[in-house]
Amino acid sequence: MLKNSFLLLIATLLFTDVKSQNPEKDSLTHLLTKAREDTNKVNLLRDIGISVIYQNPPEAIPYFKQAIQLAKKLKFTPGLERSYAATSTAFAFTAQMDSALAYIDTAIQYARVVGDVSRLALVYLNRADAYQNLHNYAAALRNCDTALKYAEQSQNKDRLARIYDIMSDVYRAQQQYPMALNHLDKALALYQQMGNLQMSALAFFNKSNIYRKTNKKDSAILLLKDAIRIADSIRDIQNLSAYNGELAGIYIEQKKIGEAAPLAAVALEYAEQTGNRLQQAVIHDLFYNLYLAQNDIPKAIQSGLKAYAIVKEEKDILREPEVTANLAYAYYKLGNTKEAYHFLKISKDLNDSLVRQQFNDETAKLQTTFQVAQKDKEIQLLNKDKELQQQKLTQQRLLLIAAAVLTLLAFSGIFLLINRNRLRQQMKELELRNRIAADLHDEVGSSLSSIHMLSQMATQKQGMDESQRSILSKVSSNAKETMEKMGDIVWMIKSGENEGSDLKQRMERYAYETGSSKNIDMLIQLEEIENVKLSMEQRKNIYLIFKEAVNNAVKYSGAEKIEIGAAIENKELMLRVKDNGKGFEPSTTGRGNGLDNMRNRAKDLKGKLSIDAAPGKGTVIILSVPI
């Protein structure tokens, strides 16, 4: 619950720059019917999205996208930056982190054009938060460092505090508690300087959570009491429920039932006042633990059933397995094996469903069901299979060669026939090797996923020294990098309903990431690609030509700006990559730059590749492909 609260506070930070108070959606929509096509309408569309984002994030997204389209038409750069950032936040609220990253990347490009260091601090802060939610902690910290630089330039204490807060969360997730405390103390000091009581209380709560995990429960209790005192002074009822519940939980662990019970009752009262059903379920589950500690099993079951009714109604699939497992245990202690089995089966089915869902969402959080040893054996069996096949093929080749030699002595015509059969057999061998390679690729991909997740989990274990943790982190990083490269290959041959849109997003992501490595401004207009139906081969070759062109421009041109555009003219897709760099002489340039590969791929596409370049005049590469 507190994590959600923190995300809402970050979103509030994003949107207060737009409008301090948002009217209801109906009144804003009424104004929209009378609005002219100007920058005020861009802001109005964004305000409508903001007015509904907390209640229904998907409903907000179309308004933000309309604001983007109008801002592009008007060339309203500040509006583009804010609308892209708002869209990213909406996608983050719906847990679509890939889309959130794509939009915040674009917002960063426009923020650089605007040059407002305070806004730059904010967009990098939001990108860091997206990477944190994706558990890409290295990327989250890199973006925090960049946000920190801009926040220091703008002397914005609120930005600085929230950056330190996210950095603390990243270190806490990795169980690097000293670093987490260090950054949390920096955030707390800034919140206190600004008089931000709500965030100060939240910082006390987060700090108490670290102390609780490190078995410093007395210190955690003192901090929670401070958080409760502050939240009570400002009537922060939403968080008061969580603070009191957390304190009650510690007292239960310490067997101080008399002190825990009234706190749990207060926490439930606040949760009911706010109407937060999921928080009510958390507190009912807390009462379950309270009664269980008193060995009052009937009351524990009553509280567990209340928690279960809520999480089932709210479809909270993360808490539901734990609540049903608790009920199974309580019924078992009561001697009611029938109900114990009933809830145990529900818990198991929910856990199985959760595993399937998270796997399908490519989170890979539960891929521990794939054992590395088992996968290694499968790979070894595949290798042995391949070796046997190769031995058989070698024997067949030898037989064919021997037959050809013998036949050559008798009939030259028979030799030609056998030679053709031999070539045909070689083609079959090549196809067989390709199939084996494809199967091996699939198994390696699964194994790398397991290695990545298992090594990440291993780094979280207690009692591991830093050298071991470093080795495991490197294993995880290498496995993930290899998975990403393999994913690129799979994407190139994978068909889907939205080839154009998928290709556009990949091209934009690659261009922004490559350009940012050398601080090159990337101006990209690839919307036309979304409307093109492409075959697998077309999509692959267009993407590889594009990557080669952008990579050459970034690495060799010395350009400060690269323009990328796409258009449809006379039933041809035109892709244009232009840089303002030092240029080159195409007729004297060596083959190592990949130009021949680009021309060959254009030929495969039945298209044309033109290169307009001269020393000192930059480079323009245009690919035209019939569609």
CATH of the domain at 575: 3.30.565.10
C-alpha 196/C-alpha 188 separation (Å) is 9
Q: Provide the pLDDT for residue 360.
A: 57
Q: Which helix (H) or strand (E) holds 525?
A: strand 521-525
- Which of 80, 115, 150 is the endpoint of a domain? 115
Which one of 19-28, 308-317, 590-599, 612-621 scores highest in mean pLDDT? 612-621
Residue 439 pLDDT more than 80? no
Q: Residue 259 domain-assigned?
A: no
Q: How many CB atoms lie within 10 A of CB 487?
A: 13
Residue 10 pLDDT more than 70? no
Q: Provide the pLDDT for residue 431.
A: 64
Stretch 112-130: mean pLDDT, rounded? 92
The count of structural domains within the chain is 3
C-alpha 324/C-alpha 305 separation (Å) is 9
Residue 11 pLDDT more than 70? no
Q: Residue 350 domain-assigned?
A: no
Percent of the chain at pLDDT > 90 equals: 44
Q: Is-contact 86 14, C-beta < 8 A?
A: yes
Q: Provide the pLDDT for residue 358.
A: 57
Confidence category of residue 311, pLDDT binned at 50, 70, 90: confident
User: Same domain for 503 and 483?
Assistant: no
- Domain harbouring 14, CATH code: 1.25.40
Confidence category of residue 35, pLDDT binned at 50, 70, 90: confident
- Which of 115, 141, 165 is the endpoint of a domain? 115
Q: Is-contact 74 40, C-beta < 8 A?
A: no
The one-letter amino acid code at 52 reads V
Q: Is-contact 500 532, C-beta < 8 A?
A: yes
User: Same domain for 517 and 615?
Assistant: yes
Q: Residue 437 domain-assigned?
A: yes
* Residue of higher predicted confidence among 91 and 464: 91
- Which of 90, 115, 140 is the endpoint of a domain? 115
User: Same domain for 29 and 101?
Assistant: yes
Stretch 439-467: mean pLDDT, rounded? 68
- For 398, the domain range is 367-492
C-alpha 102/C-alpha 211 separation (Å) is 36
C-alpha 105/C-alpha 83 separation (Å) is 12
User: Same domain for 609 and 582?
Assistant: yes
User: Same domain for 452 and 542?
Assistant: no
3-state DSSP assignment of residue 612: strand
Q: Residue 68 domain-assigned?
A: yes
User: Same domain for 419 and 469?
Assistant: yes
Q: Residue 426 domain-assigned?
A: yes
By DSSP bridging, strand 521-525 and strand 561-569 are parallel
Q: Residue 312 domain-assigned?
A: no
User: Same domain for 469 and 525?
Assistant: no
C-alpha 50/C-alpha 37 separation (Å) is 20
User: Same domain for 447 and 529?
Assistant: no
Q: Residue 155 domain-assigned?
A: no
Q: Residue 568 domain-assigned?
A: yes
pLDDT tens figures, 64-73: 999 999 999 9
Q: How many CB atoms lie within 10 A of CB 538?
A: 21
pLDDT tens figures, 571-592: 899 999 999 999 888 777 654 5
For the sheet containing 572-579, what is the strand order? 521-525, 561-569, 572-579, 619-626, 608-613
Q: Which helix (H) or strand (E) holds 217?
A: helix 217-233
Tell the burial category of 274 from Cβ atoms under 10 Å away from its Cβ (0-12, 13-18, 19+).
Answer: middle
Per-residue CA distances from 453 to 202, 276, 322, 354, 444 (Å): 31, 34, 22, 17, 14
Q: Provide the pLDDT for residue 8.
A: 37
User: Same domain for 485 and 383?
Assistant: yes
User: Same domain for 481 and 504?
Assistant: no
Q: Is-contact 216 235, C-beta < 8 A?
A: no
pLDDT tens figures, 248-274: 999 999 999 999 999 999 999 998 888
The one-letter amino acid code at 509 reads R
Confidence category of residue 277, pLDDT binned at 50, 70, 90: confident
User: Same domain for 583 and 602?
Assistant: yes
The tokens for 216 are 């410093």
Confidence category of residue 452, pLDDT binned at 50, 70, 90: low
pTM score, whole prediction: 0.52
Q: What is the mean pLDDT of the chain?
A: 82
pLDDT tens figures, 328-372: 999 999 999 999 899 988 888 887 776 666 555 544 333 433 333
User: Same domain for 446 and 404?
Assistant: yes
Confidence category of residue 190, pLDDT binned at 50, 70, 90: very high
Stretch 472-500: mean pLDDT, rounded? 65
